[in-house]
Amino acid sequence: MSLCCHANHDPSCPDVPVPPEIFSNVLQDTTKCKTKKGKKKKRVAPLAINRRTNSSESDEEDNGIPSPPPVNNCYLAKCPCETHLHKQLVERNYQLSVEKLFDLIFGDNEFVRTYRSAQRIYDDHATEWTINPQSQNRERVVTSKIPFVSVLGNSTISSTEKQVIRNEKKYSYYIVDNDIYNTGVKFGDTFYVALRYCLVQTAVNHSNLRITAEVRYLKTVIGFMKNLIEKNAIAAIQVSLQDLSIIDSI
Ligand SMILES: [Zn+2]
């Protein structure tokens, strides 16, 4: 699973941002390690530990204390990409390490599960991150469903996200491409939405997230239909990304 977005919200059906309090308990259990004097140290749920092997949290010891970053940390002012996608949707700084930011967006943990559940996403399944032997990039596939409500009736949209880490350097940056294919949405067989997530560590415990997007076509589509599809698809993505602000509260 991931904290990524769906290009399948009905723009006519406004989404309600996820209330921060939903995450308060989850965040304490999964993203912070409380070691108050006299209090027994909270342990991360066994499930989370088991699944950490493919996430950045694998650097942490079982007691939840992060291992120290390497001395030769490579902080960057901006991501190493030569180009980005047409539409910039997010440009935001976080007071987090890039490893933690990556885990909050692409990890498999209770925070991500709660976030996606609050977005009404269900039947959520992510394959493990595995290395593509040809490209040597880490890849995975995320599938999920979301109810779709419109004036024409209720239905379900099925989403498949093909995620590829195009470039990564531990403690420095992660460049992740996410291609989102939807079925059950109007004209869903004619296009998909490409997203690029650029996560960069800019200083100690400071990182930057930039998300760019563009609509790509699988079939020939006439001009005015392209405009309609792009307007609605990008608007839907923007709605689903607005909840990324929840990370600010961490
Ligand atoms: Zn970039």
Write out pLDDT tens, residues 75-108: 999 999 999 999 999 999 999 999 999 999 999 8
Q: Give the residue among 104, 112, 95 at the shortest CA–CA distance from 206.
A: 95
Of 110, 124, 90, 122, nearest to 243 by C-alpha is: 90
Answer yes or no: is 123 within a domain. yes
Q: For residues 15-42, give the mean pLDDT.
A: 43
pLDDT surpasses 50 at 34:
no
> Is the sign of the CA dihedral 73, 133, 80, 104 positive or negative?
negative
Residue 77 within any structural domain of the chain: yes
- Asked if residue 118 is part of any domain, the answer here is yes
> Which residue range(s) make up the domain with 74?
21-249
CA of 205 to the centre of ligand 1 (A): 19
Please state, in angstroms and rounded to a whole number, the distance separating the CA atoms of residues 156 and 184: 6
Residue 32's pLDDT band, with cuts at 50, 70 and 90, is very low
pTM for this model (two decimals): 0.75
Q: Is 15 inside a domain boundary?
A: no
In a domain, 205, yes or no: yes
For residue 58, report the distance from its CA to the centre of ligand 1, in Å: 25
Q: Which of 16-25, 33-42, 155-164 is most confident?
A: 155-164
* Domain presence at residue 2: no
Closest alpha carbon to 99 in 60, 140, 135, 125: 60
Q: 187, exposed or middle or buried, with CB in 10 Å at 0-12, 13-18, 19+?
A: middle
Ligand 1 centre to CA of 198 (Å) is: 5
What is the C-alpha separation between 179 and 92, in angstroms, rounded? 21
Q: How far is the CA of 234 from the centre of ligand 1 (A)?
A: 19
Taking ligand 1, which is a single-atom ion, which protein residues have CB atoms under 5 Å away?
Answer: 79, 81, 198
CATH of the domain at 112: 3.30.530.20
Number of structural domains (the chain) is 1
Q: What is the pLDDT of residues 197-218, one digit of tens each?
A: 999 999 999 999 999 999 999 9
- Indicate whether 59 pLDDT > 50: no
Query: What is residue 209's predicted lDDT score, i.e. its pLDDT?
Result: 97
The whole-number average pLDDT for the span 29-35 is 41
Long-range CB contacts for residues 123-130, cutoff 8 Å, separation at least 24: 124/1, 125/1, 126/1, 126/2, 128/54, 129/54, 129/55, 129/165
